[in-house]
Amino acid sequence: TTTISKMNCLLNIGLMAAVLSALSATAFAFQTQDGSARHRQTCLCLASTNGGVDRSAAASSEVVSPLSDITRVAVTGATGRTGRFVVERLLSQGVSVLAMVRDEEKAKETFDPTNSLLTIRKVDLSSKEDVINALGQNNCDAAIWAATGFSDNPDQSFFTKIAAVFGFATNAQGSIDAIGLPALGEGLANTPKRSIDGAPLPKVVMLSSAGVTRPDWNQEKKSELEGCAGIPIVRLNPFGILGIKKESEEQLRSCGVEYAIFRPTGLNDNWGANQRPIFSQGDVAVGRINRVDVAKILVEILSTPEATGKTFEAFTIANSAENYYPPAESIGPALSGLSPDSEGVNEEVVRSTYAVLQQLLPGEKQTADQLAMGQTYEQLDADEEGRLGKKGEENLELVEMGPSSKASL
């Protein structure tokens, strides 16, 4: 059994300070029992662009992934607020897409139905048979699970929307994550292997969520890592939605298909797009990321062998006006230092990662555990109450699941 002797002071305290002040790469090293150094990069490429959301960025060709080996990519949640960016980016790279949707008419309004690369199909993600048939009949050899799906209906209450999404109120068979995601894995498990220079590529990429493991941490760990364990969505965890995502991740890992699981932090449409992500493991990341950048990462994962068999989180950092820190050309170098799920993540590395990432939170106070549900970092800094009320007294019936949310939950 490998034992950890001593972290090299996060590559020494002086280096860490320089890295943080310069917004450069951060890596951690630790020694194995035989003295060999093992390096696991947990934060890389800190930067972003300022300004509002550029929807066209999702379809830009500035980063073209080598996806020529793919016949067709299935995208679940294709008309959702993240899924539509995924579809647009794939199409912009000349990749054929099967848009798995609940509402074909909405899909035809969202996308150009005359695009020869796009196939729109109504699929019941709570039906294993329907999902597998759709994959086979459309010759899909890869898939992106983007069905995170809250309803956009403003007339529904917060709890009704969550119940509808995860099957508590409307689907006696269980949540779509628990059925549809493993079905994707099963349907693609026996298709030809994908690889680059012999290195396997993911067939199924799952859009999950940061925070899914935190409700299950013991009290000691929650206390030590309160800055990420005490954020609103973890503290409240309505209907146990984080646990559902965690269970779905576990099912994907066990279904025998090459996979990658991406856990973005708070999705925020008002946070600048086309920024540089910070990747980490251990489920300790807290921050913001635009859906355009989430879609960009999901698509790039398909052509990144360094992502295969791994679970990781990411948020983005605001860029300087001089654009000193544009997005890296490839996410591969950042992901290459992360641990495969089969090896697990060392707890000392997790705590060291947490210590660094907490210094990169938005705002001045940098106390994410003090946020109320629906309160922004900026409101916390100004001692202003969020739209749902004080921490511990939030009125969740006021939650609006519209296309934009400023709060990082």
Question: Considering the entire predicted model, what is its pTM?
Answer: 0.78
Q: Which helix (H) or strand (E) holds 84?
A: helix 83-92
Give the phi and the psi of residue 324 in degrees, each rounded to 5: -70, -25
SS3 299: helix
Tokens of 394: 């939030």
With tokens 């646990």, the residue in question is: 243
Closest CA to 89 of 75, 69, 101: 75
**C-alpha–C-alpha distance, residues 146 and 161, integer Å:** 17
Q: What is the reported pLDDT for 65? A: 45
| Amino acid identity, position 391 | K
Question: What are the start-end ranges of the E strands in 208-300?
Answer: 259-264, 266-267, 276-280, 288-289
Question: What's the chain's Rg over C-alpha atoms?
Answer: 20
pLDDT tens for the 409 residues of the chain, in order: 443 333 333 333 333 333 333 333 333 333 333 333 333 444 333 223 333 334 344 444 444 446 888 999 999 999 999 999 999 999 999 999 999 999 999 999 999 999 999 999 999 999 999 999 999 999 999 999 999 643 333 344 445 544 444 443 334 345 788 899 999 999 999 999 999 999 999 999 999 999 999 999 999 999 999 999 999 889 888 778 899 899 999 999 999 999 999 999 999 999 999 999 999 999 999 999 999 999 999 999 999 999 999 999 999 998 888 888 888 899 999 999 999 999 999 999 999 999 999 999 888 888 888 888 788 888 888 889 888 888 888 876 655 443 333 333 4
